[in-house]
Amino acid sequence: MVDRYDVAIAGAGPAGAQCARDLATRGYDVVVLETESEDEFPRQSNKSTAGTFPSMMSSFGIPDDVVMSYTDDVVLESPNEYYESYQPGAVLEFAEFKRFLVADGRENGAEYRFDARVSRPILDDDGVIEGVRYNGDEELYADVVIDATGPAAPIASALDVVDLERENQAIGIEYEMEGVEMNHPEYADLRRAMMLRLDHDIAPGGYSWIFATGEDTAKVGICYIQNDRHREFAEAGKTVDGYLDDWVNRDPRFADAEQIDEKVHRGSAHIQMPDRMHTDRFLAIGDTVPSIDPLWGEGIHTGMKSARAAAATVDRCLTDSERRLDAESLAVYERLWHRDVAPRMRARLMLTRLLYLAPNERYDRFMRDLRQTEENTLEKANQGDKGAMAKLLHLSDLPLLTKFARERLNV
């Protein structure tokens, strides 16, 4: 008997599992294929710090049970300065969050197959996808296939829908720690904060973070893209693990801190402008697109928004009496993506490149400027508002801008 569904989703991350929730709620036959085994899920994919904001929690009905701690502020640090802004957030227990999405999807009728590694698409005579092959020779057919495997992207790559470039790959690692001095006299009070630090001595061409999970516990991590910027500031041969260990050994806030149960989370995502994200009977969502916010690596909310846009698109097409699922009919997904998931992505990518190009001294000045501008300047710049970006630039940034322009023109 042929295994057939309305929708087959590869990957049970925040994007895939959310898409399954939305589609199952609308009554579609949906199956999720996840490479990991259920009893240990998530293991390798338990990779995220999972800092998020109330807008995500309320939009997607995420319960308090999966929250490790609530935070009040976002703090930006540079080598000698910091800037604090009031912005309530939540740090999730990522593994519990993933398991909640699976359980809730199942309750609504979604089917899950664990130990199911998707390898490639099954194509019909016209070269259009009609199913997926998994675990070697197992086959499954569906009207629509969705790739939500994050950076793995086996189906999206085989269909030439996405091309995730290695030079745009950001790698990250994080420890869960206890005994951290969260209110050290020389630094901002981080007891209820998510802190991001711009400092090339710690994270060359990237950033590091401390996200509070309790009075003296925190998620402590570092990430960067291994591009020219990283190489300019990096020490030859030093790995991302080496950089995190160095920071933990040097920063006085970790003087009495220890790693909790050797808990390490690691992973990667691509920071690049999405190109295509669909074709006939196929959609890519989450980090496969990639949907992650380039500036601060917020990928959970954006991935889930892309999942919702995909589910709405599929629902629209399958409601149509002719159930048209050709690329043209599914193109509405890309429009929704650019409107709702990551508006002004190009401007934000530009801001990201500019930010990680700046030297350490410029970061100190950036913090001082932020303290002097209106409260919402950073928020606006964050949304890609060019006026707000301009407010944070100075005449002395001219060499930086020239360097940036040269890199963009590749001369």
Ligand X SMILES: Cc1cc2nc3c(=O)[nH]c(=O)nc-3n(C[C@H](O)[C@H](O)[C@H](O)COP(=O)(O)OP(=O)(O)OC[C@H]3O[C@@H](n4cnc5c(N)ncnc54)[C@H](O)[C@@H]3O)c2cc1C
**Residues engaged in binding ligand X (CB under 6 A):** 10-16, 33-36, 42, 45, 47-52, 117-118, 148-150, 152, 154, 172, 174, 221, 265, 267, 269, 286-287, 292, 297-301, 303
Looking at beta carbons only, is 214 or 359 nearer to ligand X? 214
* Closest approach of ligand X to the CB of residue 37, in Å: 10
- 267 phi/psi in degrees, rounded to 5: 180, -175
Structure tokens, 326: 């050709």
Nearer to ligand X, 34 or 77 (CB): 34
Smaller CB distance to ligand X: residue 73 or 364? 73
CB of 119 to ligand X, least distance (A): 7
What phi, psi does 48 have (nearest 5°)?
-105, 145
**Least distance between ligand X and beta carbon 87 (Å):** 14
The least CB distance from residue 50 to ligand X, in Å, is 5
Q: Which is nearer to ligand X, 244 or 350 (CB)?
A: 244
DSSP state of 340: I
Residue recorded with tokens 């070269």: 127
Question: CA nearest 175: which of 257, 66, 234?
Answer: 257
- Give the distance, in angstroms, between the CA of residue 130 and the centroid of all CA atoms in the same chain: 29
- For β-strands 118-123 and 258-270, DSSP reports them as unpaired
If the CB atoms of residues 83 and 134 are measured against ligand X, the closer one turns out to be: 134
Identity of the residue, 132 or 325, whose beta carbon is nearer to ligand X in the bound complex = 132
Q: How far is the CB of 49 from ligand X (least distance, A)?
A: 3
Q: Compute CA 309 distance to the chain's CA centroid, rounded to the nearest angstrom.
A: 17
Give the whole-angstrom CA distance, residue 41 versus residue 98.
Answer: 8
Question: Residue 96 or 407: which CB sits closer to ligand X?
Answer: 96
CA proximity to 95, closest of 54, 66, 64: 66
Distances (CA, A) of 63 to 92, 100, 147, 185, 261: 10, 9, 26, 35, 26
Are the CB atoms for 33 and 113 separated by under 8 Å?
yes
For the bound state, the minimum distance from the C-beta of residue 181 to ligand X, rounded and expressed in Å, comes to: 22
> In whole angstroms, how close is the CB of 67 to ligand X at the nearest point?
13
**Rounded CA separation 178/197 (Å):** 19
